[in-house]
Amino acid sequence: MKSSDPRPVRVKQLPIFIITGLSGSGKSTALAALEDAGFYCVDNLPIELLPKFLELPIDPTTGLRGYAFVMDLREKRFPEKYAAILSRLRRKGFSFRIIFLEAEEPVLVQRFSATRRQHPLAGSEGILAAIRAERERLAPLRADAERIIDSSRLTVHALKAEIMEIARGETPLAAMQITVLSFGFKYGLPPEADLVADVRFLPNPYFVPELTHLDGEAAAVREFIFAAEEARAFSARYAELLSSLLPLYEREGKTNLTIAVGCTGGRHRSVAVARDLFERLAASRPRVGLKHRDIHLPP
């Protein structure tokens, strides 16, 4: 799908995931992963509304990667309805991938106990009976699934990573958004930072009279800082380290990463180093941004 193409794109041209399975098995986590990956996601869509939903055209400028729908026994007759409806849609050219999530009974019981959520089939016989009844009712759907995931031993991050890997097999995903952020330690750590680098060991232009009033975006300040071998070495080595780490964060399913660079006031050293790191990363990656949090604050 190209953003320069003014013609509407129809849903059948995009991957469509049906996320289903046992209550408490991680369907909401799977849906969140696909939303982060650029999919349009709908939770608890009634299966009878799916044909009408799929008739809608897509704005090609949105960069939409696909659609994902969570459908389960919150709609009581979903198991009886889905086969006929999906069959009709497939004959019209739509393609679906059904992902079925499940977990072991003790794990599901513990999760419901921890969250105190109501099971959709809960009754007087208790949670275990509801889990077993749900498993039985969804057995035909499980048999139709292209992928079955047992989340019993998976952390939230591991489940998201597995879902992201499935999505990558269907469509190229948007690259992780990287923000390089300069800041001053005297004003506090940025709460959004994932990684923090402290560059207060570098020569400080603040104590050079002709540079004090400037900031790290000024050529004279940058030349002063990077005249020091330790500044050049740090920026090069840190950029190399980041280049090896970024694909690992993406593999885990991370969609946004903030790399913070701090000095004392956030006006000189951190600004110059953040600019240098930004340029190094942007030379080989899309979606890299630069922000200076404290550059306009008094020194």
How far apart are the C-alpha atoms of 235 and 199, rounded to whole Å? 10
What predicted TM-score, i.e. pTM, was given to this entire model?
0.66
Q: Is-contact 234 273, C-beta < 8 A? A: yes
Radius of gyration of the chain (CA): 25
Q: Are strands 9-10 and 57-58 parallel, antiparallel or unpaired?
A: antiparallel
Displacement of CA 19 from its chain's centroid (Å):
17
pLDDT at 133: 93
pLDDT at 12: 61
Nearest CA among 47, 38, 43 for reference residue 28 = 43
pLDDT at 157: 86
How far apart are the C-alpha atoms of 42 and 35, rounded to whole Å? 9
Alpha helices in 95-196 (DSSP H): 105-115, 127-137, 139-144, 156-168
Which residues, 6+ apart, have CB-to-CB distance to 134 below 8 Å?
Answer: 22, 23, 73, 119, 120, 121
pLDDT at 165: 85
pLDDT at 10: 53
Segment-wise mean pLDDT, segments of 10 residues, the chain, 299 residues: 44 83 94 89 93 80 82 90 92 91 94 85 85 94 94 92 84 81 96 96 95 95 96 96 92 86 96 97 93 89
How far apart are the C-alpha atoms of 44 and 95, rounded to whole Å? 20
How far apart are the C-alpha atoms of 109 and 104, rounded to whole Å? 9
Nearest CA among 196, 201, 199 for reference residue 259 = 196
The amino acid that residue 269 corresponds to is R
pLDDT at 173: 67
Q: Which fold has domain 9-168?
A: Rossmann fold (3.40.50)
What phi and psi values does residue 118 have, to the nearest 5 degrees? -90, 130
Domains of the chain, by residue range, sit at: 9-168, 177-292
